Each structure stands twice: as structure tokens, then as C-alpha cells.
Amino acid sequence: MNVESGAHRGYAVDPQKPLEYAVVDLLLTRGAGTVNEIGLATSIAWVPDQGVQRYMIEKLRRLALTEDGWFKTSVCQQLWIYSVDRVASSLRRDAENTMHDANCRCSTTANGSVQCQ
């Protein structure tokens, strides 16, 4: 797995949490130096184990509220997936609330793809 979000010098793994938390942090937090925007946007589609999904949605929330342009569109698309996916209803609700707060507008096109703005 490539980390395209920049360098994360000084990042300390919390030994009390599963490794997936660190993966979410590294993939979805902008680091220092060069950031591969396309790679970072692609990382959003990584789906963690069920125990980390709430944390993933929290990270996506921060991104949806702070990013713009096509990168925010990618974040909104991932939140939309959580809002319609077969996950716990509280996770779907968190994703829907985040979409509302971040002004994400998603719809399904005639060919079945999702388009967000």
C-alpha cells in the first residue's frame, strides 16, 4: 500500500489501537512535503475493517469540511457510499450528516454511476 499523502515524520502509532487506525491516519491526513493529489484521492476508497469505519468517517468529515475541488468531490463520493452501504445505521447517519454539513450533493446518473459536487 502506497502512502501518497506526504511524509508523516514524528507520527506515533497508538499501541492501544489496531493497526488500521494508523493506516487511516497516514492515508487520510496530509503530511509534509510533496502530496500526490491523485494518490491521496484514491486512498479515500480504501475500506477499513468494520471496527475502524467510524474513525474513517470522522477523517472523511474533516476532509469534507476543509478540502475543495475535485478532492472534496472524491471525499463526498466515499461518504455517499457509506450513506447507502450495508453498515450500521449509526454509520450511515454519520455519513449523511457529514454530507449535509459539508454541502456534498450526490446523485446517481442514468448509467448508474455516482456524481457528487
Q: Which pLDDT does position 64 carry in this prediction?
A: 93
Q: What is the pLDDT along the chain (117 residues), one digit of tens a residue?
A: 677 888 899 999 999 998 889 989 888 888 888 888 888 888 888 767 778 889 999 999 999 999 888 889 999 999 999 899 878 899 999 999 999 999 999 988 889 888 888
The three cell numbers of residue 59 are 477523517
Cβ pair 116, 76 in contact under 8 A: yes
Handedness of CA 75, 78, 100, 26 (dihedral sign): negative
